[in-house]
Amino acid sequence: MTAHIPAQTGSGKQVPAQPAKGVALLDKLIAGGATVGVIGLGYVGLPLAVTAAVRGANVIGFEVDPKKIELLDAGTTYIEAVSRDALDGVAGKTFSWTMDFRQLASCDVIVICVPTPLSAHREPDLSYVENTARDISRYMTDGTLVVLESTTFPGTTDDVMTPILEEGGLKAGEDFFVAFSPEREDPGNKSFHTATIPKIVAGDGPMAGQLAQVFYEGVVDKVVPVSSTRTAEAVKVTENIFRAVNIALVNELKVIYDAMGIDVWEVIDGAATKPFGFMPFYPGPGLGGHCIPIDPFYLTWKAREYELTTRFIELAGEINVNMPKYVIGRMRDVIDTVHGKGLRGSRVLIVGIAYKKNVSDMRESPSMRIMELLHEVGVEVDFLDPLVPVVPKMRAYPQFLNKASIAAADVAKGGYDAIMIATDHDDVDYAALTELGVPLIDTRNAFARRGLSMEHVTKA
């Protein structure tokens, strides 16, 4: 790969000369001497930082949470995707971390990996991006590449982030360069990791695009350039809308087929044998995670600017948001049938409160909404989760903060009227649950998939 873009094309037509500061950074990236700053050492930032460090980059991680800094100082990894061995291999060598944002001045590339949640009114909350951009504008130096990885609506990089970055007096496209490359982390996925997931990249202009491409080629196996930051932002939103809409479809089918006495999981497994034209999605008690419950509504919000509606997205959201109420309704019916009473005053155990199996990630977990709804109607609720010993601090559900998981050995002593499987972690003794003789409400098809007795199981 050549470091410089020629000022003249083969046809003899003149093209604008490339900014000298961009060419200098490009040479540095190709030579392998750039310092990379990663802001936000969570589920996206820490795996990216460690992967870049493993591949030889000098990486500084920036984090505002002192607890994460303390854990890293102790050599402890708090993200499943980052192994202790990988962290030990780079810590203090090619990877360091700090809460001092003044060190951004020494970074040639700055990657933003901060949350983009929804507000209480389901509107985009870009405060983390905006505040981070302000910190960068104070300290970054000439010739820096700034990359946003946080999922957002098309136009955020150009219309929101770049103007804030320019508040420091430097000009985008001349003094510094801006790009967007959406994160594609999938917690718990053993088949893919940061380095092996293809990376969408786009820059604000040819120089920024080439800088971003060269940077990520040093971090991941495959880079996929697209034409603009808005296109890259739309790619990520589209990926998550696709999943949200299809999950909503099978959730709606579950409700319909339940009423017909048809097992939706058997239907989906049967349909999945078709070798073309069908992709299996599976129902559940609602949507969780850092992307799918949130990101589609970023496009919904942005579409209003163009006087357009997003009917599929909004309908999918309505279906998925109502699934916790549906599975609670199924539990209410079971308790009434078996015990001859309503929910109020009942004792219930929720198995699995992480949003996804085999991870400890609690972001937007539907289990928390289920627990909240049960608590509101007077149900005594416990939970069992081998990966979540206590409920961590979350943006919502303060009433459950620090509530502890019961021990597996104490389930039989709990006197529960019903047990709901909300997240089907592998490290749960489902056979022991079937032997309790307690009604089991299975929202994940956990018992049938393991070939266990279905005598006390109600699929929901």
145: β partners: 109, 177
Q: In a 10 Å sphere around its CB, with 0-12 CB exposed, 13-18 middle and 19+ buried, how is residue 118 labelled? A: middle
> Do the beta carbons of residue 211 and residue 194 sit within 8 Å?
no
Q: Which helix (H) or strand (E) holds 459?
A: strand 457-459
* DSSP SS3 for 273: coil
The residues, any chain, with a CB within 8 Å of residue 456's CB and separated by 6 or more, are 434, 436, 437, 438, 439, 440
State the alpha helices, DSSP H only, in 55-196: 66-73, 84-90, 127-139, 162-165
> Do the beta carbons of residue 4 and residue 18 sit within 8 Å?
yes
Give the residue numbers annotated as catalytic, written as ranges: 291
Residue environment code for 252-287, b if the CB has 16+ CB neighbours within 10 A, otherwise e: bbbbebbeeeeebbeebeeeeeeeeeeeebbbbbbb
Strand pairing of 440-442 and 418-421?
A: parallel
**Rounded Cα distance, 375 and 372, in Å:** 5
Residue pointed to by tokens 């959201």: 317
DSSP class of 272: T
DSSP class of 169: S
- Max Cα–Cα distance, the chain, nearest Å: 86
